[in-house]
Amino acid sequence: MKNNFLKVFPSIMLLLFFVHHIEAKTQFNNLVNRTKAKKIKATTIVQKTIIDSTFDFVPADSVIFSDNFNGITAGSMPKNWKSNGLGKVISLPGIDGKWLVLQNFCSYKLANPHSLPAKYTMEFDIVASADKTVDLSPVTFGFAKDNSVSQYIPDAYNAGGINAVSIRYFNGDEVNIASSATNFDASTKLDLVSYVNQIMHVSIAVDGDRVRVYIDKTKVANELLFNKNRVKYFFISAPIKADNKAKVVVSNFKIAAYKSQLK
């Protein structure tokens, strides 16, 4: 009897080990699947159509800041701006004016920012100089809690970001609008391929907590993106990476308030 037991004992142990292995693997797979489901649920963003085809942007009547980099020596960083990296003013073939080249993985803010009232407008131009949009990761702009440029601001959730508009060139047709202040996060479709080597005019209208954002004549956001954030500083962040000598340049900044608020 004892000898028979010793003969079958290894087989019994192997069977028990195999069963235990199957159970452990099943539990592990279930755990991974649950984790994946949670992650997918947590990162799901709303896909929206264009907000409104009506272009109703009206710039405020009193300009408090403007910069088109005229008078800045080519290759120099403009004095009105600061960054956690470098920047230089250049000219673009076939496009008028002077432009600030955004260095990859760098954020830019105003060196001496004006106090922003509750209601104001802001405008500027972006050019994605590239062979194709897939060569560029997103360029992001929005507002932050302070005027520090010690860190790169990638979105509305890190490095002091309050809200952010992400022009996701690599996707070819996506603009994301997010706010950590109001937990808003949504994407809308916009043809970005047609903007390669063309001027993209951005208009922003802030009225208290509500922000309207326009890309040329298209309104891509009309949402509550502030939550009584009295202190807010404009920022623009370059793509993290750019392939095939692609780059993003900006110019023609203008911030305007209303005369009634300046009295």
Per-residue confidence (pLDDT) for residue 261, from 0 to 100: 76
Domain spans in the chain, listed from the N-terminal domain onward: 1-44, 46-262
Question: In terms of DSSP bridges, do strands 81-83 and 62-67 run parallel, antiparallel, or are they unpaired?
Answer: unpaired
The reported pLDDT for the residue numbered 203 is: 98
Tell me: pLDDT of 34 over 60.
no
Residues 38-50 pLDDT 10s: 333 333 345 555 5
Separation of CA 134 from chain center: 16
Q: Which ranges of the chain does DSSP label H, i.e. alpha helix?
A: 2-43, 259-262
Query: Once rounded to an integer, what is the mean pLDDT over residues 222-247?
Result: 97
Residue 211: closest CA among 179, 236, 235 = 179
For the stretch 60-78, pLDDT in tens is 999 999 999 999 999 999 9
Per-residue pLDDT, 52: 62
Fold classified for 46-262: Jelly Rolls (2.60.120)
pLDDT for 41 equals 34
Q: Are 215 and 100 within 8 A, CB to CB?
A: no
Question: For position 46, what pLDDT does the model report?
Answer: 52
> What's this model's pTM, rounded to 2 decimal places?
0.81
Using an 8 Å Cβ cutoff, are 155 and 163 in contact? no
% of the chain with per-residue pLDDT over 90? 78
